[in-house]
Amino acid sequence: MIQLDLLIIGSGPAGLSAAEAAANEGLSYLVIEKGTIANTIRQYPIGRTMFSTPNEVEMHVGTLKHVREKPSREELLSHYIHFVLDHDLNINTDEKVTDVAGGIDAGFRVVTDKSEYRAARVLFAIGAMERPKKLRIPGEELSKVHHLFMDPYPYVRKDALVVGGGNSAAEAALFLSEEGARTTMAIWREDWENRDPKAGAMKHWVRTPLEKEVAAGRLRVVLYKHIDEIRERTVTLTTESGDQETIPNDVTFVLVGSDADLTLLKRLGVEFETGKAGEIPVYNPETFETNVRGIYVAGHFTHARHIKEAIDVPRRIVPLIARELRADVHEAESLADVPQ
C-alpha cells in the first residue's frame, strides 16, 4: 500500500494549489480526482466568460493567457491543465475516494474505487457541486431533465424550461434563448427582483442581455410558485397567482444550487455548522484542520468559497502541515536515540 505524507481529495483550484504547495515542501503527496483535472470548471457552460478577473483565478500572477478582460471557461481550464503538466503534479484522475478511516496516531487509510492508500494527513478539497438540489416532483427522473447546463446547441428550435433564480439558471436561459431554443425561465419573484449582489443577485452583465431577450419576445419569464409535474412532452407549473399552466417541453434544466457530499467527513466524525450556503465543516480558521486531528478542508465547501481563496488557503496551510510532520519525524528520531 502506498504510504503518503498528504493525500488530497479533489483537483479543483484548491486541490491543485495544495499539490503544488506539498511538492514545494518536499512532501510525498497524491491528488485523487474522481473526474478530470479541474472537473468543476470543465463542467461550466461551453464558452462561458468567468465572473472573476484573471488575477482572482490564476495560479501565479500573469500566467493565465486570456484574450478579453475576463477569461473564458476554455482559457481557465487550459491554464489549470498546463499548471499540472508544467509542475508535473501527482494526480490520479478518474478515481473516486469512497472511504477515509483511521486517525492521526496510526495514520489514515484512504480507500478508492481502484486502490487503497495510507496517509499521515488528508485534505478534503471536494468542492460543493456533488449533490445538485432537486425539485423532488414527479417526472424529475426523466432523461430530458438535467441538473447541469453545459451546451445550448442540441436545443435549437426546441422547447426548453430553466428552473432557478441564480446566475447559473440565468446564464443557461440566456445561452439557450440566444442560440434559438424557445426558452421559458421559471423564477421566484424574490429572485427576479433581487438586486443585492451579496444576496446572490443575478450579475448585471447577465441580467442586461437576459432582459433584452425578454423584450425581443424570444425568452419568457414566468414568476412561479412551484413546478407540479414534468412529462415527456410538457411541464405543468403553478404561477405565483395560483394559476396552473401546462407548457410544451422538450428539455428541462433544474438549476437550483448544489451541496457538497459530506458523507466521508461525517463518517470520520467531523462536526458541521449551518452557514449561509448550508452545512459547513467546523475548522480552525488558521490551519483549516477540523475537529478530527489530521483531517483538513479547503475550497468551495468552506467559508473560503471563491476560487481566489481556494488557491490561497492551501498555500498557507500545507506549510503548517509539513512543519508538523517534520516535528513528528524529529520526535520519533529523538525517542529512538534514547537508550532503553
Ligand X SMILES: Cc1cc2nc3c(=O)[nH]c(=O)nc-3n(C[C@H](O)[C@H](O)[C@H](O)COP(=O)(O)OP(=O)(O)OC[C@H]3O[C@@H](n4cnc5c(N)ncnc54)[C@H](O)[C@@H]3O)c2cc1C
Stretch of 39-47, 179-187, 236-244, 324-332 lying at the interface with ligand X (CB under 6 A): 39-47
Instruction: Mention every residue, 6+ apart, whose C-beta is less than 8 A from residue 34.
Output: 94, 95, 96, 97
* DSSP β-bridge partners for residue 65: none
How many residues touch ligand X (CB under 6 A)? Answer: 31
Does 14 bind ligand X (CB under 6 A)? Our answer is: yes
H or E element: which one contains 285? none
Position 11 contacts ligand X (CB under 6 A)? yes
If one asks whether residue 200 binds ligand X (CB under 6 A), the answer comes out as: no
Residues 86-100 as b or e (16 or more Cβ within 10 Å = b): eeebbbeeebebeeb
Exposure of 262 by Cβ count < 10 A (0-12 exposed, 13-18 middle, 19+ buried)? buried
Q: Which is nearer to ligand X, 168 or 183 (CB)?
A: 168
Q: Is 40 in the site for ligand X (CB under 6 A)?
A: yes
Taking the least distance from each CB to ligand X, the nearer of 38 and 181 is 38
Contact between 92 and ligand X by CB under 6 A: the answer reads no
Measured CA to CA, the distance from residue 188 to residue 180 in angstroms comes to 24
Return the range that interacts with ligand X (CB under 6 A); candidates 26-34, 178-186, 280-288, 326-334: 26-34
- Which lies closer to ligand X via its Cβ, residue 77 or residue 221? 77
Q: Which residues contact 68 (CB under 8 A, 6 or more apart)?
A: 49
For ligand X, the binding residues in 95-154 under the rule CB under 6 A are 96-97, 125-127, 129-130
159-188 mask for ligand X (x: CB under 6 A)? ---------x--------------------
Which one of 10-18, 205-213, 288-296, 321-329 is the stretch in contact with ligand X (CB under 6 A)?
Answer: 10-18
Residue 32 near ligand X by CB under 6 A: yes
| Smallest gap from residue 278 Cβ to ligand X (A) | 14
Q: Which is nearer to ligand X, 33 or 289 (CB)?
A: 33
Q: Which pairing describes strands 159-163 and 91-92: parallel, antiparallel, or unpaired?
A: unpaired
- Using CB under 6 A, pick the residue from 23, 28, 52, 312 that binds ligand X: 52
Residue type, 109: R
Coil, strand or helix at 186: strand
Q: Which residue has the cell 489549470?
A: 80
In the window 290-329, what residues touch ligand X (CB under 6 A)? 299-300, 305-307, 310
Burial class (CB in 10 A: 0-12, 13-18, 19+), 30: buried
Report how far residue 15's alpha carbon sits from residue 99's, in angstroms, rounded to the nearest whole number: 18
Interface ranges with ligand X (CB under 6 A): 9-15, 32-35, 39-40, 44, 50-52, 96-97, 125-127, 129-130, 168, 299-300, 305-307, 310
